[in-house]
C-alpha cells in the first residue's frame, strides 16, 4: 500500500456538515504526481475513488467504501499581465476564500462578490459557484483536468465547461474529470455588481464613499457572517436546495395565492423562485428533528446540531421536497453532492 494511504479514517473533519462516517482508505494529493499515483494504485486494486476538496458541498449518508482522495495541492500565480486584463491560476487544493483575498491584494477585481464561499478552487467549477449576482463563469479563463478514464490532461475553455445555474459539465459527469488547476481573467478596473440583495445598502451603512473591490468583499463578508451559520460552529453545507426555475404560468399561479412570493423573472421567460421563501412559507424555518434541522435564520440551509447522520438529513430534505411539491407544485433539487 502507498505510504500515505490511511485506513478507516473518520471523515468528520473533512465535511462541513460534520458527519461522522468513515472512508475505507484516505489519502492526500499535494501535486499532479500524487494524484496520478493514487488513481493508479486505486485502479490496480479496483477501488472506486471519491475526490474531495473542502467537503462543503457534500452529504455523506454512510461509510465510503472507496479511496477518498483529498486535494491538498497549493499554489497561485499571475499567468499573464496585460495591464488591464490579468490571468491568474490556482491549484485545485487552494482554499477558495484566501484565494479571493489574495486576488484583491494584487489589486485585481472580479472575484469580490464570491467572497467567503467555503471550499477549494478545484471544486468551484463543479457547480459554477455563484453569489450576489456573480458566478465563476463570468471571470473564468480555463482549467486543466485529468481525464480519469484515459489518464490524459485536458485544458477546458469557458464554452467547453458548459456552465449553467449551479451546474457544469463536470457536475453532470461525476467521477470523469479531476480538476487540477483553474484560471480566471480579472481586471484592474472595477465593474461593480451591487444590485443583488442588500449589498448596496450594506456599503452605505458602512460609510463607504468610494466603492472598491475590497469594500464590496468586506460588505459581502459582513452580510454572510450575519446570515449564514459558520460550519465551524454549526454543521451545514450552505444552501441545501437550488432555487427552482419554473414556467411563468406556474409562477403566476403561485403569485395568485401568495402575492408576496419572492420571484425573479429570467431572460427566457421562466421565473426563479427563492427556495428559502417557499420553505419558510411552508413552516419549516427553525424546524428540528433530533439533531437534523432547518436553520432558524435561513431556511435554505439544513443544519447538523451535533450527531445527525447524513441519512437523517437526507430524510428531512425529502420530507421538505415532498411538502413543497404538494403545496406549490414546485420540485426542489438538492444542491450538495450525495454519497
Ligand atoms: P467538496 O464539497 O469537497 O466537493 C464537492 C463536489 O466536487 C464533490 O462531488 C467532489 O467529488 C467534487 N470535487 C471536489 N474537488 C474536485 C476536483 N479537484 N476535481 C473534480 N471534482 C472535485 N456555493 C455557492 O455556489 N455559492 C455560495 O455562496 C456558497 N456558500 C456556501 C456557504 C456555506 C456556509 C457553505 C457550507 C457552503 C456554501 N456553498 C456555496 C457550497 C460550497 O461551498 C461550494 O459548492 C464549494 O465550491 C464546494 O467546494 P469544496 O472544495 O468544499 O467541494
Ligand atoms: P438572499 O439575498 O436572501 O436572496 C434569496 C434568493 O433570491 C437568493 O438565493 C438569490 O438567488 C435570489 N436573488 C436575490 N436577489 C436577486 C436578484 N437581484 N436577482 C435575481 N435573484 C436574486 O440570498 P442568501 O441566501 O442570503 O444568499 C446570498 C447569495 O449567496 C445568493 O446569491 C446565494 O446563491 C449565495 N449563497 C449560496 C449558497 C450555496 O450554498 N449555494 C449559500 C449561501 C449563499 P441565487 O441563489 O440564484 O443567487
Within this chain, domains 6-71 and 76-227 share the same CATH topology? no
Predicted local distance difference test score (pLDDT) of residue 2: 56
CATH 3.30.70.360 fits 6-71, yes or no: no
Ligand nearest to the Cα of 58, by number:
1
CA angle (312, 227, 220) in 5-degree steps: 130
For domain 76-227, give the fold: 3.30.465
What pLDDT was estimated at residue 139?
98
pLDDT score, position 329: 97
Q: How many CB atoms are located within 10 Å of the residue 92 CB?
A: 29
Cβ-Cβ contacts under 8 Å for 116 (sequence gap 6 or more): 97, 220, 221, 224, 225
pTM of the model: 0.97
How much distance in Å is there from the Cα of 298 to the middle of ligand 2?
11
Report pLDDT for 1. Answer: 52
Report residues whose beta carbon is within 6 angstroms of any ligand 1 atom: 16, 50-58, 71, 92, 117-120, 122-124, 126-127, 129-131, 178-179, 228, 231, 236-238, 337
pLDDT truncated to tens, each residue of the chain (339 aa)? 556 899 999 999 999 999 999 999 999 999 999 999 999 999 999 999 999 999 999 999 999 999 999 999 999 999 999 999 999 999 999 999 999 999 999 999 999 999 999 999 999 999 999 999 999 999 999 999 999 999 999 999 999 999 999 999 999 999 999 999 999 999 999 999 999 989 999 999 999 999 999 999 999 999 999 999 999 999 999 999 999 999 999 999 999 999 999 999 999 999 999 999 999 999 999 999 999 999 999 999 999 999 999 999 999 999 999 999 999 999 999 999 999
Ligand 1, pocket-test mutation among 19, 48, 57, most atoms within 8 A of CB: 57
Catalytic residue among 217, 239, 299, 309: 239
Q: What is the DSSP letter of 113?
A: G
What is the three-class DSSP state of 195?
A: coil
Question: What pLDDT, on the 0 to 100 scale, is given for residue 3?
Answer: 60
Q: Which CATH class is domain 235-338?
A: alpha beta
Closest-CA residue, ligand 2 atom 20, reads 264
Q: Say which of 34, 166, 202, 217 is annotated catalytic.
A: 166
166 belongs to the catalytic site = yes
Which residue's C-alpha comes closest to atom 1 of ligand 1? 55
Best residue among 112, 118, 169 to mutate for probing ligand 1's pocket (most ligand atoms within 8 Å of CB) is 118
Parse the chain into domains and list their residue ranges: 6-71, 76-227, 235-338
Please enumerate, as own/partner, the contacts of 314-323 that have beta carbons within 8 Å and a separation of 24 or more: 314/59, 314/61, 314/338, 316/289, 316/292, 317/240, 317/241, 320/241, 320/279, 320/282, 320/284, 320/294, 321/241, 323/282, 323/284
Catalytic residue list contains 335: yes
Ligand 2 pocket check: which of 239, 245, 267 to mutate, most ligand atoms within 8 Å of Cβ? 239
**Residues 6+ positions from 145 with CB-CB distance below 8 Å:** 153, 154, 156, 170, 177, 178, 179, 180
Q: Would you state the pLDDT for residue 197?
A: 87
Nearest CA to ligand 1 atom 23: 129
Instruction: Assess contact for 124 and 106: CB atoms under 8 A.
Output: no
Nearest to 191 by CA among 126, 138, 127: 138
Task: Look at residue 157 in the predicted model and tell me its pLDDT.
Answer: 98
Supply the pLDDT for residue 53.
Answer: 98
Q: Is 239 a catalytic residue?
A: yes
Amino acid at each position: 500500500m502507498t505510504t500515505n494511504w490511511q485506513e478507516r479514517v473518520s471523515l468528520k473533519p473533512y465535511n462541513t456538515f460534520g458527519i461522522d462516517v468513515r472512508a475505507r482508505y484516505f489519502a492526500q494529493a499535494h501535486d499532479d504526481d500524487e494524484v496520478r499515483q493514487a488513481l493508479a494504485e486505486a485502479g490496480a486494486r479496483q477501488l472506486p475513488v471519491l475526490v474531495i476538496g473542502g467537503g462543503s458541498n457534500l452529504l455523506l449518508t454512510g461509510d465510503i467504501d472507496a479511496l477518498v482522495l483529498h486535494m491538498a495541492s497549493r499554489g497561485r500565480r499571475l499567468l499573464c499581465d496585460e495591464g488591464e486584463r490579468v490571468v491568474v491560476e490556482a491549484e485545485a487544493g487552494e482554499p477558495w476564500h484566501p484565494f479571493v483575498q489574495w486576488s484583491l491584494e494584487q489589486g485585481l477585481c472580479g472575484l469580490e462578490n464570491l467572497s467567503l464561499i467555503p471550499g477549494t478552487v478545484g471544486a468551484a467549477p463543479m457547480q459554477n459557484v455563484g453569489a450576489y449576482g456573480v458566478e465563476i463563469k463570468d471571470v473564468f479563463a480555463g482549467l486543466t483536468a485529468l481525464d480519469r478514464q484515459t489518464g490524459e490532461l485536458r485544458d477546458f475553455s469557458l464554452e467547453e465547461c458548459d456552465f449553467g445555474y449551479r451546474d457544469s459539465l463536470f457536475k453532470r459527469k461525476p467521477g470523469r474529470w479531476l480538476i487540477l488547476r483553474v484560471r480566471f481573467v480579472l481586471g484592474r478596473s472595477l465593474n461593480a455588481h451591487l444590485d443583488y440583495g442588500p449589498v448596496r445598502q450594506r456599503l452605505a451603512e458602512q460609510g463607504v464613499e468610494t466603492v472598491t473591490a475590497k469594500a464590496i468583499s468586506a460588505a459581502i463578508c459582513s452580510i454572510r457572517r450575519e446570515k449564514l451559520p459558520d460550519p465551524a460552529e454549526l454543521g451545514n453545507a450552505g444552501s441545501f436546495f437550488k432555487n427552482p426555475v419554473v414556467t411563468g404560468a406556474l409562477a403566476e399561479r403561485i403569485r395568485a395565492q401568495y402575492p408576496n412570493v419572492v420571484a425573479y423573472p429570467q431572460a427566457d421567460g421562466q421565473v426563479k423562485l427563492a427556495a428559502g421563501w417557499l420553505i419558510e412559507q411552508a413552516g419549516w424555518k427553525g424546524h428540528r428533528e433530533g439533531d437534523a434541522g432547518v436553520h432558524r435564520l435561513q431556511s435554505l440551509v439544513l443544519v447538523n446540531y451535533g450527531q445527525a447522520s447524513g441519512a437523517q438529513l437526507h430524510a428531512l430534505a425529502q420530507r421538505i421536497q415532498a411538502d413543497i411539491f404538494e403545496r406549490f407544485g414546485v420540485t426542489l433539487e438538492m444542491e450538495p453532492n450525495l454519497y
